[in-house]
Structure 1
Amino acid sequence: MNRPIIALDFPDRQGVADFLNHFSDEKLYVKVGMELFYQEGPEIVTWLKALGHDIFLDLKLHDIPNTVESAMRGIAKLGVAMTNVHAAGGQLMMEGAMRGLVAGTAEGQRRPQLIAVTQLTSTSEAAMQHDQLIAVGLAESVSHYAQLTQASGLDGVVCSALEVSDIKKVTANAFVCLTPGIRPSGSQVGDQKRVVTPADAYQIGSDYIVVGRPITQSETPATAYKKILTEWNGDY
Structure 2
Amino acid sequence: MTNDKIIVPLDVPDLASAIALVDKLPQVTFWKVGLELFTSTGPGILDVLKSRQKRIFLDLKFHDIPNTVAGACRAAAGYGVDLLTIHATCGKDCLTAAAEAVQVGAEKAGTKPPNLIAITVLTSISTRDLAFDLKIPLELPEFALEMALLAKNAGLNGAVCSPQEVTQLRESCGKDFLLVCPGVRPSWAEKGDQKRSLTPSQAIQAGADFLVIGRPITAASDPQLAWQQIVEELNSVR
SS in 1 for 2:227: helix
CA positional deviation for 1:21: 2.1
CA contact (8 A) 1:202 1:234 kept: no
SS in 2 for 1:106: helix
Q: CA separation of 1:223/1:235 partners in 2, compared to 1, >3 Å: closer, same or farther? A: farther
CA positional deviation for 1:27: 5.4
CA contact (8 A) 2:103 2:113 kept: yes
Amino acid paired to 1:54: R
Pairing 1:43-54 to 2, within 5 Å after superposition: 43-54=44-55
CA positional deviation for 1:142: 0.6
1:19 is matched with 21
2:165 is matched with 163
Say which of 138, 141, 145 aligns to 1:139. 141
CA positional deviation for 1:235: 4.8
RMSD (Å), alpha carbons: 1.5
Structure with more relative contact order (C-alpha pairs < 8 Å, separation 6 or more): 1
2:30 and 2:65 map into 1 onto residues whose CA distance is: 30
Residue 198 of structure 2 corresponds to residue 196 of structure 1: yes
Per-residue CA distance 1:22-63 (angstroms, 9 max, x = gap): 234x45100000011011111111111112111000000000
SS in 2 for 1:178: strand
Pairing 1:168-187 to 2, within 5 Å after superposition: 168-187=170-189
2:179 and 2:236 map into 1 onto residues whose CA distance is: 17
CA positional deviation for 1:184: 0.8
TM-score by length of 1: 0.95
Amino acid paired to 2:220: S
1:87 is matched with 88
2:78 is matched with 77
TM-score by length of 2: 0.94
Structure 2: any 5+ residue segments left out of the alignment? none
Q: CA separation of 1:235/1:22 partners in 2, compared to 1, >3 Å: closer, same or farther? A: farther
Per-residue CA distance 1:87-145 (angstroms, 9 max, x = gap): 00011111111111000113763211010000000000110111221111001101111
1:106 and 1:234 map into 2 onto residues whose CA distance is: 40
Q: CA separation of 1:234/1:206 partners in 2, compared to 1, >3 Å: closer, same or farther? A: farther
Amino acid paired to 2:170: K
Pairing 1:125-136 to 2, within 5 Å after superposition: 125-136=127-138
1:142 and 1:94 map into 2 onto residues whose CA distance is: 16
1:124 and 1:196 map into 2 onto residues whose CA distance is: 14
Amino acid paired to 2:183: G
2:96 and 2:236 map into 1 onto residues whose CA distance is: 35
CA contact (8 A) 1:185 1:197 kept: yes
Identity %: 39
Amino acid paired to 2:161: C
Residue 146 of structure 2 corresponds to residue 148 of structure 1: no
